[in-house]
Structure 1
Amino acid sequence: MNWQSFPNFSATEFQCKHTGKLRMDDMFMARLQALRTDYGKPMVISSGYRDATHPIEAKKVEPGAHSTGHACDVAVRGGDAIELIALAVKHGFTGIGVQQKGSGRFIHLDDLSHSQGHLRPWVWSY
C-alpha cells in the first residue's frame, strides 16, 4: 500500500496493537481519506487493523470488519461526532458504531457490504 496516497494518515496509527501487523484495504483507506478531506479536521484513529488473534477479535464468533482492513475507530465526541457521522454516510460508509459515553468516545466506521453477509447499511451503539 502506498501511504503517500493518504496524506492525513500514517501506517503506524493503523497497525494492530496486538501483533503490529497492518492489512488495511486500499479502497477503504481511499474512502477514509476522502472523508477526512471533506471533514477538514484531524482524525485520531484509536483502532485500525486488528489481527484475528487480537483479544477483541478473538472473543468474537467470527472476526469483524477490523480484521479485514475495512474498519477503523475515530476518537471524537459531541458536535464533531455528529458531523463525522453525517459525512461518513455521504462518503458511503455502511457500518457506523457510536460510543459516546465515558472516557473512550469514538465512532466506528466500516464499508462492508450486505453481500458480504453483513446487514448493511447499519448503525449501532455500544
Structure 2
Amino acid sequence: MGKGSFGCLMAIGVAIIVVLSMAVIGQEISNREAEEIASKPLYESTEYVQTLAEDMIKERLKDPDSYQFVEMNEMLSSSEGERIFVVTYRAKNSFGGYNISQATFTCDKDNLHIVSIE
C-alpha cells in the first residue's frame, strides 16, 4: 500500500467519524426539542395542533388524499386554559369537485377536540 492510499483511507476514516458525530449531536437536539414541546401546553405548539387537526379532518373525509390546508386561525376561549382553532381546508366532495370547508377545534393543555366541521 502506497503513501497515497494510506492518506486516502485516513481521510475516509476521519469523514466517517465526523458524520457519526454529527448524527449523535443531531439526535440530542431532536430529543431536547421533543422534551420542550412535551412540557408546553398543546395549544402553544401551533404546528403540532395543525398536524393533529389535519389527521382528525382526514379521518372524516371521503377522499383523505384530497385534503389541502388553507389556513388556521386561533381564538381565545371563554374557558381558562383553552384555545379555539379554526382550520380552513379544501377537499373533494362526492361529485369530485373541491369545496372549501372549516373545522373548529377546542384545545386545552393536553387534548384537541373537534367541535364542528362545516
TM-score, normalization by structure 2: 0.31
TM-score by length of 1: 0.29
**Which structure would you say has the larger RCO, counting Cα contacts within 8 Å and 6 or more residues apart?**
1
Q: Could you say which structure has the higher helix fraction?
A: 2
Q: Which has the higher strand share?
A: 2
- Structure with greater Cα Rg: 2
